[in-house]
Chains A and B, each alone.
Chain A
Amino acid sequence: MFPNFRHTMAWLHTWFGLALGLVLMVVFFFGSLSVFDREIDRWAIPDTRYEPQPMPSFDKMLAPIFKDMQPDAAARAMTAPLADGPLPDRFDTARSWGAYTTHRDPVLALFASYEVPNAKDHETAIWALRTVDPRTGDLLPVDRLKIGSEFFYPLHYSLTLDWKNVGYWIVGFSALMMLMALVTGVIMHRKIFRELFTFRPNKSTQRSMLDLHNLSGVVALPFHFFFAFTGLMIFAYIYFPVTHTQLTPLHDRHEVLESKETGLPHDRAGVAAPIASVDAMVAEAQRRWAAKGMAGDVGFLNLTHVGDANGYVSVYRAGTDRVQLAGEGIHFKASTGELLREDPPPTVVARINEFLTGLHLQHFKHWLLRWLYVLGGLSGAACIATGLFFFVEKRKRQHAKQGVSGARVVDALAVTVVTGMLVATLCMLIANRLLPDAMPAGWPLRGAMEKYLFWGSWLAAGAHAWWRTAAVAEGRLAPAWREQCLAIAVLAVAAPVLNWITTGDHLLRTVATGYWPVAGADLFMLASAALAMLAARKLQQRAARPLAVKNVTLEAGHA
């Protein structure tokens, strides 16, 4: 685009980095929170603050719940347009029943998929979900939003914009742009090794922001690259649905061949059959793993073609001790319990793929690595944020002279997406403590209220950001930053205090009993409050300083 290659790369880095950086802030921040999503669930749903349990008895506890489950109103509403005519009242033909447990989650997630008899595409399925206390079999009330795993986590990978997968596409494109920003950043940054440890906070804001941007970007470069890349790998089937469009014939041929080879029937036989003791099958699976020298817990249990003669039960090992996701599945004939197949060791390519996706999805049990992941994710967020700060700093005086408002607009967006996002997160957690257990009639459900309050407070923070960045149009520091930092400090203390008041689980108690999911969340919020206060104080000092007279020029190549 420009005659100079480096110049073009710098232009790309600046402008696409700016545009998609706003989205990537959300992706990185909520991705960092998602490392501890299930712990956040415990904070948000006090009834579930007990220790993780192993998979309970299928025969005694889970089977009755599965038989009783039905899709809820939201699932029905989503599926209705995919059918000819009205949906049946009850869905009786279950394609699959699945139960999933992790070493971090005390509650058990159950899901079932059903055939939709009058669907336009016969492959359409409708899903039902239940959350169960594995100690007793009690169902969790449906309206308890798992703020971590059911909101922050989906926000991270799809912005919770599910209509036609638009959110997935936006995040996917941002991920590709993240890779672009990393490569162009390296191309632009000539002194990448010499300046590896360089941070000069006493120089101009432009210089120190650029130093921090480079530091946070380079220091965790492999992390940033691999997370963006593996994120794309995980949803590759959405971005490039080649085998469900152009290569469908090849895909279908493979499925048929595979089910002949594995002995796992592809379709129902249409003949009803009972289900033998699944507990016995699980015990046999565990015996076989132990015999191979890899004893382990059950991570995932799945029944396919439920209630049919072709039905089979698949038992997968929980992969807590390595990066690769649950593997070594063992499959049994559902009606008799006879062994159908032990999955062979994976191929080299399969191992690579499982390593890549496992690295991102983190099913492993390793607290140090998880916290290092949070460090990496927050470094990424810091890299993006400092990039935005640098952009504004570099241009605001020039724009003020020219009477142009570009820098002001970007600063308002930056406030919204950096401090505003933190405000919204804390407001949601506070709402979680303040809302009544059951909303009064006519009001949206409690979980929906929490989401509305999240988006509403973010919007309010955005409005405040716009109003209080007017100073940038005159080349000065916006008061919005300090004001939102103060708000964060107050909110981040309020949330743990409310946790104490409404549940009695104050820090002395949670730390003493070693209940780290809640203690960790409270401590993290209090630490954030301290940082926010420090930031507010620094910003006040900076605002009191006289305006810098000379315009700092940096090396060419910084667009």
Chain B
Amino acid sequence: MPDALLLLLALLACVAGMGWFALSMDVHWSQVRGNTPRTAAFAKALRLGGAAALLLSLVLCLTVDSPSIAVLVWFMAVAGATLAIAFTLTWRASILRMLVFWTGPGAR
């Protein structure tokens, strides 16, 4: 797979990961999903998913570049992803519904 595509996937994994971390917090969950209730177990699962996505992103970075560069790319990608999620939550929170698309209103 070409490097550019792998790096793009790494960036997307970061965005998904940080998105799941955000959604595990009550205030952001309600920004995205409104009054839909969610269990503590689900919040925990979101955090685990977030961590897994970030780890996947790191692995993808490491397949493209030497370790010294990959680590820097990853750290900065996490920073960029966090900014993206923060601004999306502020202005277009509903977009993040796709990260929890399987939870309908009243589900779980």
Partner-B contacts on A (CB < 8 A): 194, 196-201, 215-216, 219-220, 222-223, 321-324, 355, 358-359, 364, 366, 368-369, 372-373, 375-376, 379
Please give me the residue from chain B that is nearest to A374 by CB atom: B76
A326 to chain B minimum Cβ distance, whole angstroms, is: 14
Please give me the residue from chain A that is nearest to B88 by CB atom: A197
Chain B 15-30 per-residue mask, 1 if CB under 8 angstroms from chain A, else 0: 0001001100101100
Q: With the chains together, A368 CA to B61 CA distance in Å?
A: 12
A530 to chain B minimum Cβ distance, whole angstroms, is: 17
The answer to whether B72 has its CB under 8 Å from any CB of chain A is: yes
- Indicate if the CB atoms of A375 and B79 lie closer than 8 Å: yes
Chosen A-B contacts, 9 in total, with CB atoms closer than 8 Å, are A197-B82, A199-B89, A215-B83, A219-B86, A220-B79, A321-B65, A323-B68, A359-B72, A376-B79
- Indicate if the CB atoms of A355 and B79 lie closer than 8 Å: no
Contacting residues, chain B, for A355 (C-beta < 8 A): 68
Partner-A contacts on B (CB < 8 A): 7, 18, 21-22, 25, 27-28, 65-66, 68-69, 72-73, 75-77, 79-80, 82-83, 85-87, 89-90
Please give me the residue from chain A that is nearest to B72 by CB atom: A369
- Indicate if the CB atoms of B80 and A372 lie closer than 8 Å: yes
Of B25, B73, B87, the contact of A366 (CB 8 Å cutoff): B73
Of B22, B69, B76, the contact of A197 (CB 8 Å cutoff): B22
- Indicate if the CB atoms of B79 and A223 lie closer than 8 Å: yes
Q: With the chains together, A452 CA to B65 CA distance in Å?
A: 43
Please give me the residue from chain A that is nearest to B80 by CB atom: A375
Give 18 A-B pairs besides A372-B76, A372-B80 with Cβ atoms closer than 8 angstroms. A196-B86, A197-B18, A197-B22, A197-B25, A197-B85, A199-B87, A200-B90, A215-B83, A219-B86, A220-B76, A222-B79, A359-B72, A364-B69, A368-B7, A369-B72, A375-B76, A375-B79, A376-B79
B60 to chain A minimum Cβ distance, whole angstroms, is: 12
Q: With the chains together, A379 CA to B78 CA distance in Å?
A: 13
Contacting residues, chain B, for A322 (C-beta < 8 A): 66, 68-69
Contacting residues, chain A, for B75 (C-beta < 8 A): 222-223
Contacting residues, chain A, for B82 (C-beta < 8 A): 196-197, 219
- Indicate if the CB atoms of B90 and A201 lie closer than 8 Å: yes
A35 to chain B minimum Cβ distance, whole angstroms, is: 12
Q: With the chains together, A47 CA to B88 CA distance in Å?
A: 43
Please give me the residue from chain A that is nearest to B81 by CB atom: A219
Contacting residues, chain B, for A368 (C-beta < 8 A): 7, 73
- Indicate if the CB atoms of A197 and B28 lie closer than 8 Å: yes
Please give me the residue from chain B that is nearest to A366 by CB atom: B69
- Indicate if the CB atoms of B86 and A324 lie closer than 8 Å: no
- Indicate if the CB atoms of B65 and A366 lie closer than 8 Å: yes
Contacting residues, chain A, for B18 (C-beta < 8 A): 197
Contacting residues, chain B, for A216 (C-beta < 8 A): 83
- Indicate if the CB atoms of A215 and B86 lie closer than 8 Å: yes
Take A197-B28, A379-B79 as given contacts and tell me if A369 and B73 are in contact as well, using a CB distance cutoff of 8 Å: yes
- Indicate if the CB atoms of B79 and A197 lie closer than 8 Å: no
Contacting residues, chain A, for B68 (C-beta < 8 A): 322-324, 355, 358
Take A194-B25, A369-B72, A379-B83 as given contacts and tell me if A321 and B66 are in contact as well, using a CB distance cutoff of 8 Å: yes
Take A199-B87, A200-B90, A322-B66 as given contacts and tell me if A369 and B79 are in contact as well, using a CB distance cutoff of 8 Å: no
Contacting residues, chain A, for B22 (C-beta < 8 A): 196-197
- Indicate if the CB atoms of B25 and A323 lie closer than 8 Å: no
Please give me the residue from chain B that is nearest to A351 by CB atom: B68
Of B25, B73, B85, B87, the contact of A372 (CB 8 Å cutoff): B73
- Indicate if the CB atoms of A376 and B76 lie closer than 8 Å: yes
A348 to chain B minimum Cβ distance, whole angstroms, is: 14
Of A215, A324, A369, the contact of B76 (CB 8 Å cutoff): A369
Q: With the chains together, A379 CA to B22 CA distance in Å?
A: 20
Q: With the chains together, A368 CA to B73 CA distance in Å?
A: 8
Please give me the residue from chain A that is nearest to B85 by CB atom: A197
- Indicate if the CB atoms of A369 and B25 lie closer than 8 Å: no
Q: With the chains together, A321 CA to B67 CA distance in Å?
A: 10
A215 to chain B minimum Cβ distance, whole angstroms, is: 6
Q: With the chains together, A178 CA to B82 CA distance in Å?
A: 22
Q: With the chains together, A323 CA to B83 CA distance in Å?
A: 25
- Indicate if the CB atoms of A323 and B85 lie closer than 8 Å: no
Q: With the chains together, A368 CA to B25 CA distance in Å?
A: 31
